[in-house]
Structure formats: structure tokens, C-alpha cells
Structure 1
């Protein structure tokens, strides 16, 4: 898409550092420089104010990645693009059938109502819960990784969605200030909400997480 739009040498592309190294690689393969902007802590997608703060005369495009079943604030991001004459490209996620999305939403609602000690995801803007991402803030107590190990020991699968932000990776390393990206990389954990999960399995997820409720406290 970048090459087809004429983006190349001498241009700069604004990309997220939270996940998807392929997006940064695409900018580099097109011959453009890349610049990282911070994310919105609720959607995990590019934040419009953060994007505008890193626009330079060389900036030609913004690549927006929709993440975890939440959409970026495209209205505000397009406004930034229009103000600066920038191309705004989107990378979406594969769509699931409506009945599968409905079941995931039902399971997400079940967890939202019962989980303690973690911060549950914001369900706004038509969240499809492609992934159910909670926050496990450390606050001086055992951190996200310790929490994940303890949950797995109780028979519940969970995983870290973004282990290393792109701006910390070899070959893409940049000395930039991305506090929300860093915080999300340190705190996020994916819990299962697959449509195939039974009620007993959902109860096991809640029991496993809530048994650790004294280890961490939600940061509001």
C-alpha cells in the first residue's frame, strides 16, 4: 500500500511500536524512514495527539493498526492526516462470523463482571474481543509475568500479547518516549474468551485469577 501510494525514499511513515513489527518493516522496505507514536491506553491503537506530536515536514503517511478487536479513533486520526496532508492507511484484523463475535462478547461480559485484581478491557466502540486483554499492574507487588505463571499453574491458558515493543527490537531501536506503549507491554495479558469455552472453563478462569487477587491491585 505504501509503495502504491508513492511513499518511498525521503519520506517518513508514522507507525505504532506496540506489536506488528511487520508494519515497521513495510515502511523500511518501501524505502521510507519510520517514526513511532504512542498508543491510546484503552484501545492499544495509535493515539491521535501522540501522532500529531511526531509529525515532521518529511512525514508522508500514518499506518493505523486496529488491535484486539478494538478500532482506533479513525475520525481524529483522519483529522490529523487532513491537517498535515498525510496519507492514512489502516491495517485491520480478520473478521469473525457474527455469532462467534456474540459468543465472545458474552464470555467477555461474564469475565468483566467477576474478575478482581486485574483491570478488564474497555468494551466501547463495538469491541469484538478478538483477544480479551486485561491489565495486571505491579504496584510493587508480583508483576504480570508472575501472575501469568500462577494462572497457568491453575490450568488456565494465558499469554502476553506484545512481549517487546518494536522500538526496543534490534534493527528498529529508537530512543523515544512512549510511556503508554511501555506500560502496556509490561502489564497486558490475554485471557481466553473463545466461543468454544464451556461455563465450567469460564468459571475456572475466574477462580484462577481471583485466587491471586491479593497479589496485585488494579491501578485506577
Structure 2
């Protein structure tokens, strides 16, 4: 091979095209750059993705989680059940409001929160459960929602990796008390940086709008203690452009994943639950053997790859050390197994047919 065929295939590839650049420049020239008409337009358009729910734009996916918990009144003395197999932001948001994180295991062979493990973790202090739609696959909302309703728990969907994913026809972000999305550059769509909160509760939406803007709806008429977690109009304008392209990009991701499913051998390809619409933020396989050796060979073949996430949250220092001091130990065998086995391969919509063939050749040649 020669030329472009020798270039490494990136594991992820943010898209910033002329449309996004023009949108940003247009807003900068307008002088309306923060919490203006672009943000309002982005919220209205994103609402169509989540069955018309109220949408509140903020400055990051982590802020979306943090403010949602604050708006729901969750704080010291409360417990929130979270999967340990996720990015740390899922649990960090719980800690930031002063609540306690309770980790529950994922389902065998899957990457989603196990409803049975959630039920076993519920105590009188449990206030909410936070399912994570990891890698773009919806969590088991058909079983988690009835469970939460029986116990009177709020459900905060961490949909930061799952724009346009769905289960049995219902989009993620439209199941729980609230849903949260991220617009970080490597997500399925981005706004350079930003987040969105979705909810069917008008009062929760109003509280969120106050919280993101120093507690104000009217200038200098502070109603509650809030923060500055607003989205800029530059980010919103880019997000609106990306939202318009999300459908096409999602189908490309799904087509790339289908090609990999059909042609890869020697690895466990991503599971897809019945009725699930997987949008493949990551194409995550399992390696039943020496993962480090597999990664080294893939990298040598020019195939980008990454492990999300090598250390479960409960083993990260901010969680592990306090739990050890408190004599608390988590029994999460499926989480530990996934963390030891997963590798994510390129699936982004910029992949060419030739690059897909190179990925397959590299994976299928691992045993040689």
C-alpha cells in the first residue's frame, strides 16, 4: 500500500466542516454570543430528538449531570446508584452535590446497568438511579423504569454517548425524570463543548434554567443560588449544524458497525439487545486473552484503538480510598471483567471502505 492507505486510522475523528465554521463566524459577527437566540433555537430543535421534552442547554455534559441532581433536590444524606463501568463524570456529579455514590454491577455480556443489581443496592436513603447508555447502546430502561417507579426513585439518564439511540422506539433521554447529553468533540455530534438536559417536568426545567444562570430568570433578580454554566451561542450554532447532520452520521456509524460485525473474527463483537437502536459512539469488542498484545498489534497495523475504561470508577483514587477507610467493598465481577477485556475500534462516519477493510484485516490477522 502507498499514500493515504498507509496513514493510521484514528479511533475517533471530530468533524469540523465549513458549515460549522461559517455558523461560528456568523454568531461572532452578530455580537450575541452567550445565552441568546442560537441557544434557544438549539434547545427547540434538540427537543425533537426526545419526543418534545423540555431541553436546557449548558456548558458541558458533566454540568448537565450536576445541575440535574441539584434541580431534583439530591444532596447530602441521599444515595444515587451508578454503574462503575463508565466515565468518572457519572459518579463525580453525585459527589459534587454531596450525595453518596452506590455502585451496581453491569449485566453479564453487556455493558449496561443490571436491574437486578440495582434492586439489590436500594436502601431507604436511595434517591435516584443513573443508568448510563454506554458506547451508544441504550440501558435496560424497559426494566429499570418500572423498578424505579416501584421504589419512588428519580431516574437520571446519562445519555452523553448516545444521541439518537432508542429502545423499543423510545429515544434515550425520554425515559427518565431527566436525561443528559454531551457535545464534546468526539461525541456522535458536538458543539466543540456543551451539554443538554431533557425533562418532561416544566418545573424541573425552570429550576435548571435558574441554576445555569446564577439563579436568575430576570437580570439581577436572583431567586436561588446558581452558577454560571451557560452555553455560548457560538457552541449552540455549531451544535445546530451538527444536529442537522446527526441522522446521516448515525446511519453511517451503524453501517460501519454492521460491516465489522459481519467480517470480524476472533473477538466478541458488541452486543445489541432486542429492540435496541445502537448508535455506536464506540464499537467496543471484548478480547478474551492478552489485550495489551492485541492493542500493540493493532497499533502497529495503523488501526487506532482505545480502552474505555481500563479502571472502573470504584477503583479510582477519589472513590477507592474513602471506601477503603470506611470498610466498604464493592463486589462487581462483571464490571471488573469488562474493564479487563474491552477494546474500542474505529467506527466513526469518516471511515472509508478501504479503512474498514484494513481494520478487518488487522483484527483477523491477530493470530498470525
What is the SS of the residue equivalent to 2:249? helix
Select the structure of larger CA radius of gyration: 2
Residue 110 (structure 1) aligns with = 259
Answer yes or no: is the 8 Å Cα contact 2:74–2:127 preserved in 1: yes
What is the SS of the residue equivalent to 2:143? helix
Query: CA separation in 1, counterparts of 2:160 and 2:74?
Result: 23
Query: CA separation in 2, counterparts of 1:169 and 1:80?
Result: 29
Answer yes or no: is the 8 Å Cα contact 1:43–1:71 preserved in 2: no
**In the comparison of the two structures, how many residue pairs are matched?**
210
Q: Which consecutive segments of 4 or more residues in structure 1 shift more than 2 A? A: 40-43, 93-96
Query: CA separation in 2, counterparts of 1:18 and 1:5?
Result: 24
Residue 141 (structure 2) aligns with = 74
Shift of 1:42: 4.6
Query: CA separation in 2, counterparts of 1:170 and 1:27?
Result: 16
Residue 119 (structure 1) aligns with = 268
Residue 218 (structure 1) aligns with = none
Quick check: which one's helix share is greater?
Answer: 2
Within 5 Å, give how 1:18-97 maps onto structure 2: 18-93=85-160, 95=163, 96=188, 97=246
- Residue 353 of structure 2 corresponds to residue 192 of structure 1: no
Answer yes or no: is the 8 Å Cα contact 1:43–1:67 preserved in 2: no
Name the stretch that deviates more: 17-26 or 187-196: 17-26
Answer yes or no: is the 8 Å Cα contact 1:43–1:72 preserved in 2: no
Query: CA separation in 2, counterparts of 1:106 and 1:22?
Result: 30
Shift of 1:207: 0.8
What is the SS of the residue equivalent to 2:70? coil
Residue 7 (structure 1) aligns with = 74
Answer yes or no: is the 8 Å Cα contact 1:16–1:38 preserved in 2: yes
- Structure 1, unaligned stretches of length 5 or more? 215-220
Residue 286 (structure 2) aligns with = 135
Residue 35 (structure 2) aligns with = none
- Residue 313 of structure 2 corresponds to residue 159 of structure 1: no
- Residue 334 of structure 2 corresponds to residue 180 of structure 1: yes
Q: What TM-score results when the alignment is normalised by the length of structure 1?
A: 0.91
Name the stretch that deviates more: 93-102 or 183-192: 93-102
Shift of 1:98: 1.2
Of 121, 143, 146, the match for 2:293: 146
Query: CA separation in 2, counterparts of 1:195 and 1:27?
Result: 33
Query: CA separation in 2, counterparts of 1:67 and 1:145?
Result: 22
Shift of 1:41: 3.9
Query: CA separation in 2, counterparts of 1:117 and 1:51?
Result: 33
Query: CA separation in 1, counterparts of 2:353 and 2:77?
Result: 55
Shift of 1:205: 0.6
Q: What TM-score results when the alignment is normalised by the length of structure 2?
A: 0.55
Shift of 1:39: 1.1
Query: CA separation in 1, counterparts of 2:131 and 2:265?
Result: 32
Query: CA separation in 2, counterparts of 1:166 and 1:137?
Result: 22
What is the SS of the residue equivalent to 2:130? strand
Query: CA separation in 2, counterparts of 1:111 and 1:118?
Result: 11
- Structure 2, unaligned stretches of length 5 or more? 1-67, 164-187, 189-245, 324-328
Answer yes or no: is the 8 Å Cα contact 1:42–1:121 preserved in 2: no
Answer yes or no: is the 8 Å Cα contact 1:16–1:46 preserved in 2: yes
Answer yes or no: is the 8 Å Cα contact 2:256–2:347 preserved in 1: yes
